[in-house]
Structure 1
Amino acid sequence: MSADTGKFKAPTLFNIALTAPYMKDGRFKTLEEVVEHYNSGGHGSPNKNPLIYPLRLSNKQKKQLISF
């Protein structure tokens, strides 16, 4: 693992609400769309890891996540 140290830079979440569109292809215009995408388990893809599953967040939890 130490060989991978510093190889990945995760983008900051600071002011993320101002950085639309989202995803590497810009498919989502709002954070609500992004949260719903992950909440539903993502879209079907032949390369999707079977460990990815719906989050099942409540509406309140989704609002709290977006507010965070």
Structure 2
Amino acid sequence: MIETMKETRRIWLYSKKTTSEKLYDEHRQISLAIKQQNEELAKHAMASHFCHVEKVLMQYFETTESIK
């Protein structure tokens, strides 16, 4: 799991369509919701973050598969 998370971060940070600022903002939104003890907002922020990560990973895998 740790290795997968490291690879995901590497892919995310070097993706053409995403930036470290976007990643930072998503984590900041999650953190703020948790600090506010707002369960619904935290769930929404996490779901949104996971959706973005999934899109980046799918694009990455589609690109690498077409190279092979």
Q: TM-score, normalised by structure 2?
A: 0.26
Question: Per chain length, whose mean CA-contact separation is higher, i.e. which structure has more relative contact order (CA < 8 Å, sep 6+)?
Answer: 2
Radius of gyration: which is bigger?
Answer: 1
Q: TM-score, normalised by structure 1?
A: 0.26
